Structure 1
Amino acid sequence: MSLPVLVIGNKNYSSWSLRPWLLLRHFGVGFEEVRLPLDTPQFADEVLRHSPTGKVPALHDGDVQVWDSLAICEYANERWLDGRGWPKDLAARAMARAAAAEMHSGFVALRTQLPMNSRRTPDAYRWDAAAQRDIGRVQGLWRQLRDAQGDGGDFLCGDFGIVDAMYAPVAVRFEGYGVPVDAVARRYMDALFALPAMREWRAAAAEETESVAATDALRSRCSGRPV
């Protein structure tokens, strides 16, 4: 039987691609990877062959096609993980799903003003009050989950799962833009960065040579004032 195929964007920039990739790799699910560099003629020429929305990621498992990050994670949980992607406890599972859905649909200012750039290091670039509110909400949510469900492991609900895959790109953002974080967030980010799969992704991102101009240009707008 052929392996499933996960179509992703650049590892340096594609936060949505990181989420299912990290989940699959962490749980040892074998898959073939197709990487389409964002904002390139190659991407424009090929993406619709893989994804009906013209976006990545997309998963192909035989005749099954799934084209949304959270939907891919849910499919993987049922297809290969035997439910391990979510906590066993009903209350913990409900909280984890709510937090994952909030990340999937919210935090627009954070995602817009602090786009993922794994190679980035902190500088004078700053964000506005709306993004700061998102940053505060993320850290509050992490504390809430850790306090309520985090016993027995280093992740939001103890063991690594889908909710952690959904927030992994946020940890990359916080690190790259030098976002001040509390002690709970720092420990959680360190746990994410210590995952072998996360280290693999970030090492590959560091080797990429492509540039997404709008994201990289944020380095040259370092006025020290909100933008």
Structure 2
Amino acid sequence: MTKLTLILGNKNYSSWSLRPWLLMKQFKLDFDEVIISLYNPESKPKIQQYSPSGKVPVLLHDEITIWDSLAICEYLTEQFPNYHGLPEDKKARAIARSISAEMHSGFPNLRQNMPMNCRAKLPRKVITSEVQQDINRITDIWRYCRGNFGSGGDMLFGKFAIADAMFAPVVLRFITYSVELDSVCKDYANAILALPAMKEWIKAAESEPEIIPSFEL
């Protein structure tokens, strides 16, 4: 196998880094990690050594550089098609791509008001109506996918796929901020949290010494 290296931000805070990392773990790929601490004066120059966008994550595959979480996940699915990063059914695949793109580009109020923080518990965070709208849309997606495509397992499309990697940081946000979930969404969230790779990520996040104050409110 050719060499894979994933450039990441802090595991406690970097939701974008979690997405391709989790997919690679679920694909059981052998890869190296380079973790760059974010939001300090040295961060951007270090990231720019690898990333033309100046952001993480970045995947290095031999002489190829791929940046952006969703682009990395799509690339890995092309390179390793036997792992089925996308559903085989045409309709399910179309929905999976759509919700992954929606997660990638949407939900700004949730992102701004509920940043990922694996080791924190912030149950008293005020949920504004705008944030609640984002939460409602996400849970609608989860219920729809589980109800229409989830019969083959406990993930959104039965088996773990890119869409699950895209929504995994949201699961962690919902835990941190004690978001109430119905039984379908709670079961899905618990299935994500039960993945050995998620447990590995959370354990590493909890042991990181760095603190980003703006993510601790």
TM-score range, shorter chain: over 0.9
Structure 2 counterparts to residues 176-195 of structure 1, below 5 A: 176-195=176-195
Q: CA deviation at 1:213?
A: 1.2
| Paired residue type of 1:34 | V
CA–CA distance in 2 between the matches of 1:122 and 1:36? 25
Question: In the alignment, which residue of structure 1 is the partner of 2:110?
Answer: 110
Return 5+ residue gaps in structure 2 as ranges. Answer: none
Q: CA deviation at 1:178?
A: 0.5
Secondary structure of 2:42's partner? helix
CA–CA distance in 2 between the matches of 1:83 and 1:205? 26
Q: 1:6 to 1:149 in 2, by over 3 A?
A: same
Question: In the alignment, which residue of structure 2 is the partner of 1:64?
Answer: 64
CA contact (8 A) 2:149 2:158 kept: yes
Question: In the alignment, which residue of structure 2 is the partner of 1:169?
Answer: 169
| Paired residue type of 2:10 | N
Structure 2 counterparts to residues 210-225 of structure 1, below 5 A: 210-216=210-216, 218=217
CA contact (8 A) 1:9 1:56 kept: yes
TM superposition score normalised by structure 2? 0.97
Deviations 1:111-130 (A, max 9, x none): 11000000111331112111
Moved over 4 A (4+): none
CA–CA distance in 2 between the matches of 1:4 and 1:170? 26
TM superposition score normalised by structure 1? 0.93
| Paired residue type of 2:8 | I
CA–CA distance in 1 between the matches of 2:188 and 2:172? 12
Q: CA deviation at 1:211?
A: 0.7
Deviations 1:107-156 (A, max 9, x none): 01011100000011133111211111000000011000111100010000
CA–CA distance in 1 between the matches of 2:65 and 2:115? 27
- Equivalenced residues, count: 217
Structure 2 counterparts to residues 91-130 of structure 1, below 5 A: 91-130=91-130
CA–CA distance in 2 between the matches of 1:154 and 1:105? 25
CA–CA distance in 2 between the matches of 1:42 and 1:155? 38
> What percent identity do the matched residue pairs reach?
47
Deviations 1:7-62 (A, max 9, x none): 00000000000000000011101111000011123313311001111100000101
Structure 2 counterparts to residues 78-157 of structure 1, below 5 A: 78-82=78-82, 84-157=84-157
Structure 2 counterparts to residues 39-54 of structure 1, below 5 A: 39-54=39-54
CA–CA distance in 2 between the matches of 1:99 and 1:2? 31
CA–CA distance in 1 between the matches of 2:41 and 2:110? 28
CA–CA distance in 1 between the matches of 2:147 and 2:188? 12
CA–CA distance in 1 between the matches of 2:107 and 2:83? 27
CA contact (8 A) 2:26 2:197 kept: yes
CA–CA distance in 2 between the matches of 1:91 and 1:62? 34
Secondary structure of 2:157's partner? coil
CA–CA distance in 2 between the matches of 1:122 and 1:211? 15
CA contact (8 A) 1:27 1:81 kept: no
Structure 2 counterparts to residues 191-210 of structure 1, below 5 A: 191-210=191-210
Q: 1:2 to 1:94 in 2, by over 3 A?
A: closer
